Structure 1
Amino acid sequence: MKTALSSLCLIAVAFSAMAQRPCRVKDRHSGEVLPGVSVLPEKSKQGYVSDASGVVTLPQAGTYTFRMVGYVPLTRSVTAGTDTLAVELTPDAESLEEVTVTSTRTQSRIEDLPLKVEVLGLEEMNEEAAMVPGNVASLLGDISIIHVQTTSPLTGNQGIRMQGLDPKYTQLLRDGLPLYEGFSGNLGVLQIPPLDLKQAEVVKGSVSTLYGGGAIGGMINLVSKTPDKPELTFLVNRSTLKESNVNGYYAHKWGVNGLTLFTGYTHQKAVDVNGDGYSDSPFLEQFSLHPRFFTAFGKQSTFNIGYSLLTEQRKAGDMIALNEPSGLHTYTETSKLFRHTVDYHYDLRAGNNQLTAKGTFSLFDRDLTSGGYFFGGKQTSAYQELSDVITAGRHTLVGGLNYSLERFRKKAGLDTPLQDYRYETLGLFAQDDWKLTQKISLQAGLRYDHHSVFGNFLLPRLSLMTKPGTAWTTRISVGTGYKTPNVFSLITPSSAQTNLSYQYFLPIAAGVKPERSTGTNLDISYHKALGEHMTIQVDQAFYYTRIGSPVIAIPRADEPNGAELVNAAYDVKSIGTDTYFRATYDELELYLGYNHTLSRRAGSGETTYLPFAPQDKFSSTFAYTIPDKWRFGIESSWVGNQYLYNNQRVPNYWFWAAMVSRQLGPVSVVVNAENLFDVRQSGFGPVVSGGPEHPQFSPLWAPQQGRIVNLAVKCTL
């Protein structure tokens, strides 16, 4: 009897094993195994989860649904068997669209790039369009490694610092085209509203191969929306800083043809927030228009062309003078500009090749008046590029050439020694993305530039990506760069005695050399889905940049108020670490970031920190969404250990913001508050000194506009 019972048990176990079926779940595109996939049988709440090797053993044959965050759910029948069944999940199309990077020319997904790229996607752009509809400066400042520095206490000009370096080392692009260089570049992010943007791509460190040597601290590429589903969006905004915005965006596609159209108007009154008699926020009137037309010539070629118009007037200074000059109260600063830009993009796909021709042509006219002195000029800019992307086995090759032009003409009758100039650059570039194995990729690039004034530059670059585990990715890159001397790229004086007014600048001397840089970036990231509801991402980066013979402005020997460009007797060295943590749990989102950077002069014989480069910055974002109804968010940043000139340390400060959004069908109402606790530099000391006839303005290192609350109504049809 015992023998019979034992035999029956063995037979039962054997049949049970035969009824089971092991399954290995993989990513359909990359082939990587997917741990943490939830598997639910039909008509049952008892679920299963794939292990670290992506394997889940199902107890019996039947119909199962495989689910994971970021992937399309898959339902399929599973039969009994002893061999391992392969189950492939397809990444969600919407998620793929948000993390497809255009900056690298290969149209690769972000997780497949040897180069580390941070992407702020469509959701962030749509949210920012209602919170701060005038420009993207606030959105970029939420990232711990980026510090947005206000450079003018009157006009509100801003610069972007990355990796602790001066704003001139951060390259700003629109759809992969350089539009904000030279005389036309010193307002930058203040003139880019987010409503017609699809995403912002942030690359840390040098990106010399494809875009030239100017991206030494990093590069930001702002990518415009393209037409897909019909969309009509209107946005109206009003803030306590007396700013009003009216923006509209339209997109439609008819067969192979499409159109996007953005138009926006901003009006803001001059406001004296701290009561010192001078404006902390300028009078501003701005109008922008940006239509783009899309078409296709057959199935293999696409073409789009766009036009951008921007008109802007700013006026700031003594509040009495702004209303009606009286007695000694005459000091004002004004800026009037017009920008016309045409850009185009043509793609032709033939087999494994993708041939691209793109370019832009821009006319920029700006008049500046400061304290009664007038300066005006016109800049013509052009950029043309022809490139080819070839896929050959494990190699993705990018090669091409580009031509850029920057021509400046000052207006007649100006009292300034500055001279007109014309710079032309011809570049040749090649890059190879080589997938050595499933887990190791190498990117090698080389660029040769010939500058019409400053000669030749050879820029090698190398990046290596490894995936030691399913959730781990490491990237290391080494790159070189250069920056040619340009008066208009200077935003922050190198010393307290230097005046950057164009009235006193000497022409660039023949002996001034271009700056050259070498930089290294190491990035280690961990990204994992914990079941069906939660994902986490941890990223740890280290970086080092050295810039040789930086071009700085120093006081002229014969004019203490003026300046001339020279090569400094020291180098600039920046070393730092950047850490951030992202987590989502259903409708909860959390971001924590910490950046520590030491930027200083090297070889000067003493430790001198670069001014306006915070050594520590902590950023956090917390958001909760009730789908189709409410969204709540709170952001904060702590800026610490910041220095001015001669190692003068300034106080640390916190910056807090909060937002509430209510969705009512196609209408959303947003209440946003920036600088909740009203932190202002004037709370630590005066911003303006001296009499009204010759006011002296302190350098800015903290907010000056105080608490700002805005109400926005957005309607999307």
Structure 2
Amino acid sequence: MPDLRHAALGVGVAVPPDPMFAFFQTRLGPALFVLLALAASAPASAQHAVSVRVTDEHEGTPLSGATVVADTDPPTGASAGPDGIARLADLPSGDRTLTVSFVGYEPATVRITLPRTDDAPVEVALEEDEESLDDVVVAATRTSRTIAALPTRVETIAGEEIDEKVSMDPSNITMLLNESPGIAVQQTSAVSGNASIRIQGLDGRYTQLLKDGFPLYGGFSGGLSILQVPPLDLRQVEVIKGPASTLYGSGAIAGLVNLVSREPRLGAPERSVLVNATSAGGVDVGAFLAGRDARYGYTLLASANGQSAYDGDGDAFTNLPRTRRITVAPRLYAYLSPQTTLWAGLSGTAEDRQGGDLAVIEDGADGYVERSESVRLTTQLRFDHALSEAVTLTAKQSTTAFDRRLALPDYRFEGFQVATYAEASALIDHDAHDVVVGLDLRTDAFDQRDAVGPELDDEQLTVGVFVQDTRDLGDRLSVELGLRGDWHDTYGAFVLPRASALLRLTEDVDLRATGGLGYQAPTVFLEPSESRAFRGVLPLDETVEAETSVGGTVDLNVQTVLGGRVTLSFNQAAFLTRLDDALVPAGDAAPGLLRYRNAAGPVRTRGLETNARLGLGDLKLFLGYVLLDATEAGLADGNARRAIPLTPAHKTYSILVWERHGEGRIGLEAYYTAPQTLPGGERTSGYWVTGLMGEWRVGPARVFLNLENLLDTQQTNYGPVVLGARTSPTFAEIWAPTDGFIANGGVKLSL
């Protein structure tokens, strides 16, 4: 056969015709060419690419790391980049189903037809999944574990729950916490509206309040703490109930609340604005901005809150004080390398509040009024560096300066507090161990200015060393062992062991248990002092000892699906705390003076907490119940017991929510508080508080309306709150709402 290579190269060589070659050219050549062309063009015409942009349903921010999978055989998948876009290639023609998923969000499916008529990305907005919060990493525990893998019981408030509570009260976090089972926000003043957090029936000073792991709200500044924290920048709220002193030291006897801020994310900048107004004369305006590139990032919270003096019960005294408050909190991030992050933040709050006789506040008449002016400045600095995949170092420091002036008609109290916190720690991930080890230093200095009466100047210093090991002992059992040693410059040394265990009984059922010791360094800045504006409060004497505790919790958690349709999340917890040497007002102080002493006997709290969450389509039902037995030593005899005042034995929580993702939601709430015992031994009535809220999306905005306390439950329905003469009144203990029915509404806008 002739050599055809030269012909193929186009070289002019004469060759004689070959019969077989001629047959190939004339008969088989055209047919084979068509077959080869079809074979080559078929794959090309069936291979298509598609881009999918994945965002958060409410915020519109890109979800970097979201997964998109097409129903090919085998499945074709891709992950979203910093811009939230995932790109899938080599998809065959025809109808395709894309499944989009991301940790902490409900998966979504979208149907497309290939080839598409345009190249624009397919837009998919994911809704946060409250049932999948077990996948959330908790910052308060310092490890990189999710809730489902933690031996310590941690509850989170995140996503839609925070968004819903922001609609109800964007000025502070009182409503966010008060409507969570096992947590009570106790109002301590009928005039100023001051309040504190109580967990499991224990006084507010036994709950550690943190912001991004920094203890910023203790001592003199604690009386206004939860009233001066706007929730607009919160990503999640973490609650640990029970002993939590290993990592955070003094003040975590009842538990801790960690407020976790939103961080900047790669992609489009985040811009959100909220405007709210209430029927009680309140106005709130807030904004949150965030942005980031590969090297730098920032967040900015700005909030302004105004409240008119409001008299909801017609007694001519304020139920809500006149308040003017501004908060500005910028934060800068530097991503120095893939292993190193540095951020610095500054937060400033200025507030002026006046409560009392309405005629004095509005018209300048003579009468009783309390005025509180305060300025809070906080700096925060945090440095994280990964030495390797197994070791991460963290250093952080904060300084809080708090200046406050209290003025009554015949009395004033002024003081300046500076509190600092510094910590160095390491997280070591070794095989089945997650080890946290570190040391911290805390200082707290209070300087009373222009003293009228006893001087309360005070300085405290605490040095702590801690270690905690979280370890998996097989597939079903995880344990957490912690030990902390603190040295206080006045009250000496404290050793605080703590142990937790997680037992996975089945795939849907697990059991947790925690036990540990705690302590509280004594201070005069307690609820009884705050309620009297520190008038006549005596300094602590040398006989006062530190408060110490032992406590534990056990809880059973079940997550399942009933009948193939109804999702159920159920938690049953039991708790017990014994508190020794509790600081209480002494009964032998001279008239007009308040002196503290250690209680003659222990404080004991025990109880049960039940939580259930059911979901069916667009409906969600939340049910909660708390049974509480809280007793303290009698005033005269340490062996005698009496109920701790203002701790109801029963409390129920009921919330029904209908939500259509991407459109809106409607929620109905009902809470019952059983009778309580007052300090004088009297029993109160039980009462209901109900509410209705709705939110709907209109273009880029979400419009909301909230009707709070529909039954208009007020303490004045059961008796007067203001007692005695109007020029120098006394006030009843606060055990029920004082403001009655209030409606509020507004708009949230994501830009």
TM over 0.5, yes or no?
Answer: yes
Aligned counterparts of 1:659 and 1:72: Cα–Cα separation in 2: 27
- Counterpart amino acid of residue 359 in structure 2: I
- Say whether the 8 Å CA contact 1:499–1:562 is kept in structure 2: no
Equivalent residue number for residue 542 of structure 1: 574
- Provide the secondary structure at the position in 2 that maps to 1:563: coil
Cα shift readout 1:435-488 (whole Å, capped 9, x = no counterpart): 111110010000000111111110000101100100011110111100111111
Equivalent residue number for residue 403 of structure 1: 441
Deviation at 1:276, TM superposition (A): 1.1
Q: Over the residues paired in the alignment, what is the CA RMSD in angstroms?
A: 2.4
Q: TM-score, normalised by structure 2?
A: 0.81
- Say whether the 8 Å CA contact 1:122–1:197 is kept in structure 2: no
Cα shift readout 1:677-712 (whole Å, capped 9, x = no counterpart): 100000001111111122111010000101010011
Equivalent residue number for residue 422 of structure 1: 459
2:539 to 495, 507, 518: 507
Aligned counterparts of 2:429 and 2:486: Cα–Cα separation in 1: 25
Equivalent residue number for residue 173 of structure 2: 136
Distance 1:96 1:202, change over 3 A: closer
Aligned counterparts of 1:454 and 1:504: Cα–Cα separation in 2: 25
Equivalent residue number for residue 415 of structure 2: 377
Equivalent residue number for residue 261 of structure 1: 300
Report the structure number with the largest CA radius of gyration: 2
Do structure 1's residue 596 and structure 2's residue 627 form an aligned pair? Answer: yes
Equivalent residue number for residue 354 of structure 1: 392
Cα shift readout 1:406-443 (whole Å, capped 9, x = no counterpart): 000011x3112123111010000000001111110010
Aligned counterparts of 2:158 and 2:173: Cα–Cα separation in 1: 13
- Provide the secondary structure at the position in 2 that maps to 1:186: helix
1:634 to 641, 650, 668: 668
Equivalent residue number for residue 562 of structure 1: 593
1:391 to 417, 429, 438: 429
Equivalent residue number for residue 51 of structure 1: none
Deviation at 1:551, TM superposition (A): 0.7
Distance 1:98 1:420, change over 3 A: farther
Cα shift readout 1:513-554 (whole Å, capped 9, x = no counterpart): 000000010011001245885421110000000000111122
Deviation at 1:133, TM superposition (A): 0.6
- Where does the alignment leave 5 or more consecutive residues of structure 2 unmatched? 1-69, 74-95, 111-125
Distance 1:98 1:409, change over 3 A: farther
- Counterpart amino acid of residue 503 in structure 1: R
- Provide the secondary structure at the position in 2 that maps to 1:560: coil
Equivalent residue number for residue 692 of structure 1: 726
- Provide the secondary structure at the position in 2 that maps to 1:470: coil
- Say whether the 8 Å CA contact 2:666–2:695 is kept in structure 1: yes
- Say whether the 8 Å CA contact 2:513–2:555 is kept in structure 1: yes
Aligned counterparts of 1:419 and 1:693: Cα–Cα separation in 2: 27
Do structure 1's residue 316 and structure 2's residue 348 form an aligned pair? Answer: no
Aligned counterparts of 1:372 and 1:42: Cα–Cα separation in 2: 80
- Say whether the 8 Å CA contact 1:98–1:122 is kept in structure 2: no
- Counterpart amino acid of residue 127 in structure 1: E
Deviation at 1:620, TM superposition (A): 1.2
- Counterpart amino acid of residue 552 in structure 2: T
Aligned counterparts of 1:182 and 1:670: Cα–Cα separation in 2: 37
Aligned counterparts of 1:399 and 1:585: Cα–Cα separation in 2: 44
Aligned counterparts of 2:175 and 2:595: Cα–Cα separation in 1: 33
Aligned counterparts of 1:516 and 1:403: Cα–Cα separation in 2: 20
Q: Which moved more, 1:629-638 or 1:677-686?
A: 629-638
Equivalent residue number for residue 303 of structure 1: 342
Aligned counterparts of 2:677 and 2:150: Cα–Cα separation in 1: 36
Do structure 1's residue 365 and structure 2's residue 403 form an aligned pair? Answer: yes
Counterparts of 1:85-484 in structure 2 under 5 Å?
A: 99-228=136-265, 229=267, 230-326=269-365, 329-351=366-388, 352-411=390-449, 413-484=450-521
Q: Which moved more, 1:225-234 or 1:109-118?
A: 225-234
Deviation at 1:122, TM superposition (A): 2.1
- Say whether the 8 Å CA contact 2:135–2:146 is kept in structure 1: no
Aligned counterparts of 1:296 and 1:74: Cα–Cα separation in 2: 34
- Say whether the 8 Å CA contact 1:405–1:424 is kept in structure 2: yes
Equivalent residue number for residue 575 of structure 1: 606
Cα shift readout 1:10-45 (whole Å, capped 9, x = no counterpart): xxxxxxxxxxxxxxxxxxxxxxxxxxxxxx9999xx
Deviation at 1:639, TM superposition (A): 0.3
- Provide the secondary structure at the position in 1 that maps to 2:592: strand
Aligned counterparts of 1:273 and 1:530: Cα–Cα separation in 2: 46
Equivalent residue number for residue 76 of structure 2: none
Distance 1:233 1:202, change over 3 A: same
Aligned counterparts of 2:747 and 2:135: Cα–Cα separation in 1: 25
Percent identity, aligned pairs only, is: 35
- Say whether the 8 Å CA contact 2:574–2:609 is kept in structure 1: yes
Aligned counterparts of 2:724 and 2:316: Cα–Cα separation in 1: 12
- Provide the secondary structure at the position in 2 that maps to 1:247: strand
Aligned counterparts of 1:70 and 1:709: Cα–Cα separation in 2: 31
Aligned counterparts of 1:585 and 1:318: Cα–Cα separation in 2: 50
Q: TM-score, normalised by structure 1?
A: 0.85
- Where does the alignment leave 5 or more consecutive residues of structure 1 unmatched? 1-39, 44-62, 76-90
Do structure 1's residue 519 and structure 2's residue 540 form an aligned pair? Answer: no
Aligned counterparts of 1:693 and 1:93: Cα–Cα separation in 2: 53
- Provide the secondary structure at the position in 2 that maps to 1:125: helix
Aligned counterparts of 1:548 and 1:589: Cα–Cα separation in 2: 42
1:617 to 651, 654, 661: 651
Aligned counterparts of 2:327 and 2:664: Cα–Cα separation in 1: 31
Aligned counterparts of 2:169 and 2:127: Cα–Cα separation in 1: 30
How many residues of Structure 1 are paired with residues of Structure 2 in the alignment?
635
Distance 1:524 1:499, change over 3 A: closer
Aligned counterparts of 2:311 and 2:228: Cα–Cα separation in 1: 22
Aligned counterparts of 1:243 and 1:416: Cα–Cα separation in 2: 36
- Counterpart amino acid of residue 554 in structure 2: L
Equivalent residue number for residue 670 of structure 1: 704
Aligned counterparts of 1:92 and 1:654: Cα–Cα separation in 2: 32
